[in-house]
Structure formats: C-alpha cells, structure tokens
Amino acid sequence: MDRYAVFGNPIEHSKSPLIHSLFAKQTHQAIDYGRQQPGNDQFNDAIKAFFAQGYIGANVTSPFKLDAFRFADELTPRAKAAQAVNTLYKRPDGSVLGDNTDGEGLVHDLQRLWGALEGKRVLLIGAGGATRGVILPLLTAKVCSIHIANRTASKAHELAAMFEKEGNISSSGFDDVPEVTFDGIINCTSSSLNGDLPQISANIFSEAAFAYDMTYKAQQTSFMQWAKKHNAGIEVSDGLGMLVGQAAESFYLWRNVKPQIEPVIKTVRAML
C-alpha cells in the first residue's frame, strides 16, 4: 500500500486525510494517508526521513510551503510561479518533484460555482503566499484583469511586479483601491478564521457578481456575511471546494487518476 501524508504545524485539524481517503475509496486506490507535524525548523530532516521510509508523496501546508519549494529537486511551472510548494512527489527515479496545486483548486472551484472566468475583473485581497499561488492559474483561465490590494501597499506592488509580464495586473493599498467594477472579489487572507474582516472599503462589493473566501467554516464566514450585507444579490462561497480541488490535483499527480470532486465536497461539508 502506497503511503502519503500532509505536513504542517499545527496539523491535527487537517481534513486532508479524510479527503484523500474519500478519493481512494471512490477510485478504488489502495493508499495510506496520515499527518506529520515537524517542529517549525525541522521540515528538511522530517521530509528526508519520510521519503527514506518509503513514502511516495506529501501535501504541505503552513508554515512549510517555502521549505518544500527549496527541498524539491525539480519544480513544475506553477510551483516556480508561486515560489511555494504544497505537493511533493517522489518519482520512480528517486527525484522529488515539487508542485503547487492551490491555484488550480481555486480556479476549478470558481468555474464549478460560477462558470467561465474569461473576461472577468478580479480583486485579490492580500499579498501573501496564498495570493501568489493563484495569480498565474487565474491568468491562464483568461481573467481580464487582476487587482491586488494589501494592507501594506509595497507588498502588493512587489507581487504585481512579479507577474506584470503575464497579464493585466495592478496593485494598491487597502485605502486606494481604484473605483472600478470588479466581477469577483477573493479574500486571500486568513482574517475569517478569527471572525475578522480586511480593513478595506465595502464599496468593492457594490457591483460584484461573486465573493469568495479562501477559508472555510461550518457556517458562513465573516467575509461572506460582510459581502452579503453590502450587496444582497452577490453570490458567495467559502474555500472548502478549493481545498478539495487542490487535493484532487495532488491525487492525480500521484495516482494518475482524477477523482470526482463534488461528492467529496458534500461529504466533508456535512462533517464540518
């Protein structure tokens, strides 16, 4: 039985073992999937021992995505663009491939919920690793433009500069977001985990068709409630579908089998 695990700290809350066990059952794959929680400065030693013990692949979450990026022998184009890795795969030749499936998970979920992204104007709130991982996949999905807004404007400008050759990207602080109509607003910060909100004007929601929060909870997140308060007609979603979608991409990389996402989202949602 092939063995996998998710690395993070903390990691006991992770839904990845459940999600991958559901994928395995659905696709008739025999796998074992667990959790690994190294100390914050012990990822390299832990992942080396992990692969030495015969494990084949790992998912990687906070705070180890940059460590995984540095550890991989080879990187996929989307991992290079994100400068972070959330999936490691030990290939038959012994080399370790690093991938980033977060952006693909987001794009798939947005398309599942609201159709094609082509021509859409998107506002990304936040300029951290989560934002960086989704810019190239969104551009590949042919969004019309991306605006990055961040509390510290300089970080937004730096991130926009990294991708300026790839598409129409602009940036600002929270206080000077351009007064244009955005089709979609995506909260890439973790503010909703604590019930908080980004310190940005609610005017961003006025004409938007959808608002998406990368975090997820059993009930509507604070960001989703905020969007609905300021635009009753806006459609909202949390990030559970993104979580399942990025896991499906990892599963496909490891097993060469594409699981169905929708039934797994429903099962995990019912267990929140």
Quick: pLDDT tens for 131-179.
Answer: 999 999 999 999 999 999 999 999 999 999 999 999 999 999 999 999 9
Query: In which residue ranges of the chain is CATH 3.40.50.720 found?
Result: 103-238
**Per-residue confidence (pLDDT) for residue 129, from 0 to 100:** 85
For the structural domain made of 2-100+242-271, what CATH number should be given? 3.40.50.10860
User: Token pair of 114, please?
Assistant: 């609201």
The correct answer on CATH 3.40.190.10 for the domain covering 103-238 is no
185 contacts 204 by C-beta, under 8 angstroms: yes
Tens of pLDDT, residues 193-222: 999 999 999 999 999 999 999 999 999 999
Query: In which residue ranges of the chain is CATH 3.40.50.10860 found?
Result: 2-100+242-271
Q: Active-site residues: which are they?
A: 65
Mean pLDDT per 10-residue section of the chain, whose length is 272 residues: 96 96 97 97 98 97 94 96 95 97 97 98 94 95 98 97 95 96 96 95 97 96 98 98 98 97 97 93
For the chain, the helix, strand and coil percentages under 3-state DSSP, each to the nearest 5: 45, 20, 40
Q: What is the DSSP letter of 204?
A: G
Q: What pTM did the predictor assign?
A: 0.95
